[in-house]
Amino acid sequence: MLVAMNHRGPDDEGIYINDNIGLGFVRLSIIDLTSAGHQPISSTDKGIVVVFNGEIFNYIESRDELKLKAISFKPTLTPRF
């Protein structure tokens, strides 16, 4: 599924596989050029793993609210590039 996106020029990709679930993500870095945008991302306890395609316009407020609840997210895997 990731190879099908190669024509778009992605410069980062990530894969999560667990039992019968597989998540794949490719991206072309435009706004966030750092590895901080690497996906899939997971909750600290790895109970939630997500890929996301889009922009969260209220990310600052959402981030602050999640921090108050002691919820944080981080990339699950290192980039293969």
Does 21 map to a domain? yes
CB 73 within 8 A of CB 47: no
Show the domain range for 13. 3-75
Model's pTM, two decimal places?
0.56
pLDDT for position 45? 82
* 34 in any annotated domain: yes
Q: Which residue has the higher pLDDT, 29 or 79?
A: 29
Q: What is the pLDDT of residues 6-15, one digit of tens each?
A: 776 777 888 8
Closest CA to 27 of 14, 43, 41: 14
Is position 30 within any domain? yes
Residue 62, H or E segment: helix 59-68
13 located within any domain: yes
Domain count, the chain: 1
According to the model, what pLDDT value does residue 73 have?
66
Is residue 81 in a domain? Answer: no
At 33-70, the pLDDT tens digits run: 777 778 888 887 878 888 887 677 787 888 888 888 88
